[in-house]
Amino acid sequence: MNNKSDKTVRIIGVPMDLGASRRGTDVGPSAMRVAGLGAAIRKMGYTLAREEDIFVPAMETRPPEDSEARFKPQILSVCTELAGRVKELMDDGEFPLVIGGDHSIAMGTVAGVSAHYRDRGKAMGLIWFDAHGDMNIPGVSPSGNIHGMPLAHLLGRGDPDLAGILGFSPKLDPDKVVLIGIRDIDGGERKIINDSGIHVFTMRDIDEHGMAKVARRAMEIVTNGTDGFHLSFDVDGCDPSVIPGSGTLVPGGVRYREAHLLLEYCADSRQMTSMEVVELNPFMDHKNISAERTLRLITSALGKSIL
């Protein structure tokens, strides 16, 4: 992000849990507000616009018509509305901070960011922090849960409707996409990832080379020939000992200081133009500790430093 004085942050809550099997991510935006997210951002010196929410229908009121892409019509509608709003905010010079909700919302957030750059003939980069690849597609996904599919659709694969939000596809150049922290990949998804052309840093890469080297390389990739990058931060990329409040926990993840370091590199680059945080599930948490730690991680990404 650029200087705090010339940037307005807009928090958008997207209480989505239609993309997942386990209920509870719809309360993620509320947990972040209880933790004091808005006040923390103001304290850093940013102008904070009035917070917004995107309406999401309750799972119980809608039938999952398609077992290969559960709740597709509802997710498509929410993501289309979110995409339009994110584009409007970026066109107006604001910084969208989208709080989910499950990771299916990224199809909307990133579509909006991409459309903003596309209108200007510019390219965008993407950092996708996650324990999972999120590169399944309908017919390959073992569950049909769309929160495991968003990155594939942003790259133009899978369902044409989900891939074509805002009328164009793909949303991303795979050579400008970095996936960090993965350690739990479905069998059919592995080939999709390997064939995609994106840059991947698994937990083994982080173990062998350290987060500093991985973060430096990621910054080089997402800022090379781009006008900025989006950060899609799934809290399950962190180890469950750090963020227990998620329904998609996988042991052996990124430690707290490693996550901070990655986000400090994002801030230092001054090229992060939008951010989303997903998969926080307060029902799996202990006294909202995951939201409080996630808040600190967000402020690192927005430029809060130790000194």
Q: Which residues are catalytic?
A: 103, 130, 132, 134, 147, 234, 236, 279
**Facing residues of 126 across strands?**
177, 230
* E strand spans, 104-188: 125-129, 177-182
Rg (CA), the chain: 17
**Calpha distance 29→43 (Å, rounded):** 19
* Distant-in-sequence, close-in-space partners of 297: CB < 8 Å, separation ≥ 6: 233, 259, 260, 263
Amino acid at 46: Y
Using an 8 Å Cβ cutoff, are 229 and 90 in contact? no
Alpha helices, H only, the chain = 28-34, 37-43, 72-91, 106-119, 150-154, 160-163, 187-196, 203-209, 211-223, 256-269, 289-301
**Calpha distance 297→266 (Å, rounded):** 11
